[in-house]
Structure 1
Amino acid sequence: MRKTLLILSLGLLVTGCSLKPDMIEVNHSFEYQFDSYSVNEKWWESFKDERLNSLVAEALKNNSDLLLALNNLQKASINLNQANLDFLPNISLEGSASKNQSSGETFSRQPQSRYNSFGLSSVLSYEIDLWGRVRDTANAKEAVFKATKYDYETAKLTIASSVANTYLSLISLNEQEEILKDTLKTYENTLFYRQKQLDAGSIDELTYYQAKASVDMAKTQLITLQNQISQTNTALALLIGQNPDEILNKSIAAPKILPLSPDVPEGISSDILLHRADVASSLESLRASNFMVGVARTAWLPKLSLTGVFGYSSDEFDRFLINNANTWSIGGSVVMPLLDFGRTSNNVELANLDQNASLLNYDKAIKNAFGEIKDALNSRKNSVLKEQSMQELANSQTKVYDLAKIRYDAGYSTHLEFLDSQRNLLSAKLSLAQSKLEVASSVVGVYKALGGGFNADSNSTK
């Protein structure tokens, strides 16, 4: 018994050795000239639109894709707990009872006899983690859990961004619908006036049908736009997780004027790697693959296990729990591969390739992060400039329309020239509304590219 305890103690002393390779050096230094920034975790509240806040909150509670990501996070947590349990021995309870009879014709040549056998024992089995297989497996599971946690944060950011963009699109479409309705009303009034002129013989049919064509064109544009409103409404309903009855029979209310776009950061800080959940997830996946290389290497070495059995046995049921009926045994086993025809080598090589793939994915995540940030900041700057230009264009087209109307009424220009000014004014108004949407969407894009308030330090697990 003392020898066994000595072996167990020595085994515990050497436990903790690991065959995993050193963690691959990753490049955390970059050349850039950006300013520091700070993004609120609930960045959508910066639009100061209570309806948007309510929609995002509903989506973060009910969205199916987000619920699936949460389910994956819960699975990763259970897998981590399961891996940590491997540090503890496995204890089971075994019971047996049998009734036996032997006849005088058996090989033992003993007279016929009957006897009973009862047993109750607990079995303890424990693997001594000589080479760190259990610990590396647990560390890999912990890294996977963290990566899944960061994936959940990425899913939250994606859902919130999609809700914000879809809601802003719905507002912009409502604004464009109002523009088209007002324009259509003006076109119809003009057509009514042209009808009277035609009846009076002061204009020809060409002028009348040119005016009618403008009405028909505006009606077609309005119908197309209303179909887009319906589709956008449905998309928003799906994002926030409405039930089928609400999707079929209800519309989501949205104003007709976009909220003021908030000021956004103009650059990034040196700790950008802490502010992108996808980058943090890729790094944890790399760490997990590094631990799994160590796990694969342990298959080359012996596996030492201890087994103990403690219990009672007797041939009488009412006596098998007394002290004189107790039994125990303890032993150990060593298992190691002798000839596996390269199976272990192949598994180690596969683990190395998985680690290499994780490194490539991490490098890709870093490059994508900086690429998305660059594009988002440029899009923000250019969308503001475009809105300013579109506002000036709309003002100019309004002047052109006013002058063309005066000239046509005075007989100094053709009706076609007047219609062109009408169409160009409508196009400018619609383009201005779309440019305002681009500005608002660019703000969402910047917040998303900068990680949406995520911070790897504040989200780390202990």
Structure 2
Amino acid sequence: MRKTKLISLGLSTVIFFGCSLAPELKKPEIPLPQSLRLENSTAILTDRWWQNFNDPYLNQLVEEALKENDDLLIAQARVEQALATLGGLKAQLYPYVGYQGSAQRGRTSEYSSPYGGQTDYLFSLSGLVSYELDLWGKLRNQEKAGLARLLSSKANQEALKISLISNVVSTYLNLISVNLQLKTAEEYTEKLRETYLYRQTQFQHGLVNELVVEQAKAEYESARLRVETLKNRRETLKTALSLLLGRTPKEIFEKDLLVQRELPLPLKPPSVLPSELLTRRPDIIAAEEALKAVNFEIGVAKAAYFPSISLTGALGYKSNELANLITHSASFWSLGASLVGPILDFGRTKSQIELKEAQKKEALYNYLKTVKTAFKEVYDALAAVEAAEKKLEAQKEQIASLEKVLTLSEKKFEQGLVDYLVVIDAQRSHLNAKLNLIQLQTDLLNAYVSLYKALGGGYSNRSTKE
């Protein structure tokens, strides 16, 4: 009696829970550095790091992008598709309950039977139940694979969101930078125009020769070209930012963008960051979930080696007269079971398993590459920050020296000690240095933005506890 109960319990467990043919997934161990260190950095950075710039224009643009960006809306649609797919896979774990009804009228051939030539009616109404026993874990592995696909889609959406925020912030900073460069270039151009007019006056009074006038004019026209180039770059950045914001063509042409007049100070992340922080990057999570999905799909493919068992049942009424349909005499019921399995499939199942195993290898290598790429991006961003800070320091020193060179060259030209080309070269070098200083300040800011992006969109004390 006890043995019978154990057998019954075992059979019940197999019928209702089944077994899984999916292989055990072992995530590979990847050697990681213990921590990431930044010099001269003590700030605490949240996952909404851009708000620390205290720029209401930037905050508004980021929020607009998160609501209207086309790529983000596409990613959301993909998440909804994965969610709907998972819902369908979950439903397969439960019985199907339906109904069926029919009404027929027909005449039989007079030669088919002694009662031929009569017109008959047939009415039926019944309920149906069907259920597939998941003995080999096929349906549950399909559900688990669907869940992994959903989580991967959500992680990809989050990765896209991080990239979008970084691109909006970077483009915004570049737009401020171009405006500053344009302002500097326009001031320089106006100064060259005044110099050109002054040289013309000197030429008319015989104080300088025609060559000096033409050299001043050439330098003035060159400066005007630079201004137009910067204006074109500004418009290109505006349209690029508008596209990131998901604005309509009408808004791209008619709606302006408000930006600050000066570049903000850099936002520095904490001086020490745990390496495990990077493993929570959304793109790494997406790659890991994709690997899990393929692993479960191997179990689904292996289940094709075994028979599929389904239970069916029906309960209802049949009658030749509609008035007698819902009566006890017209009732009927049926119970049945079906078994379908392979005998000889000429390698179909084997090929499908090999395909899934090859896809698992691809997913595994993609996961490893994603982890390596994450640390590479952080390393590159840290190197870019360090290089930009050193370049910025050197550029400031160069500007101080070039200001002295410009002042000395102008004095010596007025004294007739140097050619006017020396003055032009000093002016041009001084302008290039000032423009380069603005660009280096922007490069430093963008290097930090790239670092925040590489870290997975920010760092917070909450994320380290999870």
Q: 1:174 aligns with which of 173, 179, 190?
A: 179
State yes or no: 1:76 paired with 2:82: yes
Secondary structure in structure 2 of the residue aligned to 1:130? coil
Post-superposition shift, 1:123?
A: 1.4
Secondary structure of the 1:193 match is: helix
Aligned to 1:23: 25
Q: Deviations over 1:189-208 (max 9, x none)?
A: 11111011100011111111
- Matched with 1:389 is 394
2:275 is equivalent to residue 270 of structure 1: yes
* RMSD over equivalenced CA pairs, Å: 2.1
Distance 1:188 1:111 in 2: 112
Shift of residue 260 of structure 1? Answer: 1.3
Give distance in 2, aligned partners of 1:312 and 1:12. 35
Deviation at 1:275, TM superposition (A): 3.0
- 5 Å matches for 1:53-132? 53-102=59-108, 104-106=110-112, 108-110=113-115, 112-132=117-137
Partner in structure 2 of residue 349 of structure 1 = 354
Question: What percentage of residue pairs aligned between the two structures are identical?
Answer: 35
Any conservation in 2 of the 1:11–1:128 contact (CA below 8 Å)? no
- Contact conserved, 2:175 with 2:237, CA < 8 A, in 1? yes
- Equivalents in 1 of 2:61, 2:118: separation in Å? 82
Q: Retained in 2: the 8 A contact 1:275–1:453?
A: no
Residue from 337, 341, 349 that aligns with 2:342: 337
Distance in 2 of aligned mates of 1:79 and 1:102: 48
Q: Deviations over 1:191-240 (max 9, x none)?
A: 11101110001111111111111101100100111010111111111111
Match of 1:3 in 2: none
Which of 160, 184, 192 is residue 189 of structure 2 equivalent to?
Answer: 184
- Displacement of 1:268 after TM fit? 3.2
Moved more, 37-46 or 383-392: 37-46
CA distance in 2, matches of 1:339, 1:441: 62
Query: Contact between 1:125 and 1:306, CA under 8 Å: does it hold in 2?
Result: yes
1:140-151 equivalence runs, <5 A: 140-151=145-156
Match status 1:219 vs 2:221 = no
Residue aligned with 2:275, SS: coil
Return the alpha-carbon distance in structure 2 between the equivalents of residues 294 and 232 of structure 1.
50
Shift of 1:267: 4.8
Equivalent residue, structure 1, for 2:298: 293
Check if 1:405 corresponds to 2:410: yes
Alignment-mate amino acid for residue 23 of structure 2: P
Instruction: Return closer, same or farther for 1:312/1:38 CA change in 2, 3 Å cut-off.
Output: farther
Amino acid at match of 2:340: V
Identify the range of structure 1 (431-440 vs 391-400) with the bigger mean alpha-carbon deviation. 391-400
1:281 is matched with which residue?
Answer: 286
User: Residues 11 and 130 of structure 1 are in contact (CA less than 8 Å); yes or no, is this contact kept in structure 2?
Assistant: no
Q: Give the drift of 1:48.
A: 1.7
Name the CA shift for 1:39/1:77 in 2 (closer, same or farther; >3 Å). farther
User: TM-score, normalised on structure 2?
Assistant: 0.92
Asked if 1:304 is matched to 2:292, the reply is no
Paired with 2:325 and 2:27, the residues of 1 have a C-alpha distance of 62
Q: Which residue of 2 aligns with 1:429?
A: 434
**Residue 112 and residue 230 in structure 1: after superposition, are their counterparts in 2 closer, same or farther (change >3 A)?**
closer
Q: Is the 8 A contact 1:267 1:377 kept in 2?
A: no
| Aligned counterparts of 1:234 and 1:103: Cα–Cα separation in 2 | 78
Q: Greater CA deviation, 146-155 or 28-37?
A: 28-37
The verdict on how the C-alpha distance between 1:7 and 1:222 changes in structure 2, with shifts beyond 3 A counting, is: same
Specify the alignment match of 2:3 in structure 1: none
Secondary structure in 2 aligned to 1:87? coil
Structure 1 residues 322 and 7, CA gap change in structure 2 (3 angstroms): farther
CA distance in 2 between partners of 1:31 and 1:256 (Å):
41
254-263 or 343-352: bigger deviation? 254-263
- Aligned partner of residue 36 in structure 2, secondary structure: coil
Q: Which runs of 5+ in 1 are unaligned?
A: 1-5
Within 1, Cα distance between the matches of 2:336 and 2:44? 61
**Change in CA separation of 1:291 and 1:156 when aligned onto 2, cut-off 3 Å:** same
Q: Say if 1:411 and 1:132 are closer, same or farther in 2 by CA, change over 3 A.
A: same
| 1:100/1:319 CA distance change after superposition, 3 Å | same
Return 433-442 or 9-18, whichever deviates more.
9-18
Change (3 A) 1:72 1:301: same
Hey, what's the Cα distance between the residues in 2 that align with 1:244 and 1:102? 69
Alpha-carbon deviation of 1:105?
2.8
Q: Following TM superposition, by how much is the alpha carbon of 1:60 offset from its aligned partner in structure 2, in angstroms? A: 0.5
Deviation sequence 1:124-170 (CA, Å, 0-9, x none):
11100000000000000000000000000011011111111111000
Write the distance in 2 (CA, Å) between the matches of 1:103 and 1:312. Answer: 26
- Taking a change above 3 Å as real, the CA distance of residues 127 and 73 of structure 1, as seen in their structure-2 partners, is same
Question: Do the aligned residues in 1 keep the contact of 2:294 with 2:356 (CA within 8 Å)?
Answer: yes
What's the offset of the Cα at 1:242?
Answer: 1.3
Distance 1:411 1:112 in 2: 129
Contact 1:39 1:452 in 2 (8 A): no
Tell me the alpha carbon deviations over residues 397-439 of structure 1, each in whole angstroms, 9 at most, x when there is no partner.
1111112112222333221111111111011011111101101
- Residue 131 of structure 2 aligns to a residue whose secondary structure is strand
SS at match of 1:115: strand
